[in-house]
Amino acid sequence: MISFYVLATIAVLASLLVIAQRNPIYSVLLLIASFGALSGLYVLLDAPFVAVIQIIIYAGAIMVLFLFVVMLLNAPHEETEHDLRVHPLLRRGPMGFGVVLALVLIAELGLGLAAGSESALPARSISSVQAIGRSLFTEYALAFEVTSLLILVAMVGAVVLARREPR
Amino acid sequence: MPSLNDYLVLSAILFSIGTAGVFIRRNVITILLSIEIMLNAVNLSFVAFGREQGTVDGQIIVFFVMTVAAAEAAVGLAIVIALFRQRESLNPDMFTSLKW
């Protein structure tokens, strides 16, 4: 229970700092910390496979890609001096709408937590990598193959988009 | 032992943080990072529900979500690079060619 609260606090604080930072490099590094905490939560949920691929794929591949692009573009700070619009936090209509949405979310969470019984998680769970692999290659085989097609399309798309225009 | 509700509340908090980031920040890269926070919040609730049901389906969906997130990050960052080359800026307010 203690470890859950520690990891949850780290995840929430790091995510808040991600959207509070002005320098995208710090945002990316803090998001990696948040992903590490989430990986610990997956371990608590008896999902070691997800915890490991969270570290390898998210923190290892996707975030490195982000970091690479941030450093490549070399534009660390948000330009605020010549903005076309008022900052979103200072505009009254959208702020009011956002506050209403946040209040609705809090009310729904409160109602749901008050109505629903505290359902404890079952003590034992089947979450071995063997079970995941068997399910992935039998029941979800088609989705798995379509995923490879998706990655191919994304790869071609990224190359085409980032290519310099021939002059 | 934390219950299912604890995980779902944490997931809702993380998703709200991601949503707020998408709307508040004015840097395309930070907006993409906020989308990653939202995807992770959803992943957490998938794993928690899978744990509660006693099946591996939740973890398999998380696997697919991560694949889609990787594809999205690759294409999104390629678009960011192309936009930066065109406009020398990362501010989404500068990219208004499709608005009228």
Domain map of chain B by residue range?
4-94
- Output the pTM of the full model: 0.88
Statement to judge: residues A72 and A136 lie in one domain: no
Give the total residue count for chain A.
Answer: 167
User: What is the average per-residue pLDDT within A20-48?
Assistant: 91
Residue A164 has pLDDT above 80, yes or no: no
Does residue A109 sit within a domain?
Answer: no
Domain-terminating residue out of A76, A96, A113: A76
Give the CB-side neighbour count of residue A23, counting CA atoms within 13 A. 6
Is A160 a domain residue? yes
Residues of A in contact with B78 (CB under 8 A): 157-159, 161-162
Q: Is A11 on the interface with B (CB under 8 A)?
A: yes
Mutate to test the interface with A, among B35, B43, B60, B89 (most CBs of A within 10 A): B60
Q: Which of A27, A26, A35 is nearest to A61 (CA)?
A: A35
- At CB < 8 A and 24+ separation, what contacts does B18-24 make? B18/A15, B18/A19, B20/A19, B20/A98, B21/A18, B21/A19, B23/A88, B23/A94, B23/A98, B24/A19, B24/A88, B24/A89
Could you report the predicted ipTM of this complex, rounded to two decimals?
0.90
B73 CB within 8 Å of a chain A CB: yes
Which residue segment(s) compose the domain that A160 sits in?
129-167
For residue B70, the chain A residues in CB contact (below 8 A) are 57, 61-62, 151, 154
Q: How is domain B4-94 classified at the CATH fold level? A: Helix Hairpins (1.10.287)
* Axis crossing angle, helix B28-53 with helix B4-24, rounded to the nearest 10: 170
Touching check for B92 and chain A: CB below 8 Å? no
Read off the pLDDT band of B53 (50, 70, 90): confident
Closest chain B residue to the Cα of A120, Cα to Cα: B3
Q: Which residues are within 8 A (CB) of A22 and not within 5 positions of it... i.e. 6 or more apart?
A: A77, A78
Burial degree of A149 (CB within 10 A; 0-12, 13-18, 19+): exposed
Cβ of A55 under 8 Å from any chain B Cβ? no
How many folded domains does chain A comprise?
2
pLDDT digits (tens, 9 = 90+) for A76-109: 565 555 555 666 667 777 788 888 988 998 898 8
Does residue A47 belong to any structural domain of this protein?
Answer: yes
Considering only the beta carbons, identify the residue of A42, A157, A164 that sits closest to B47.
A42
Q: End of a domain among A76, A109, A137?
A: A76
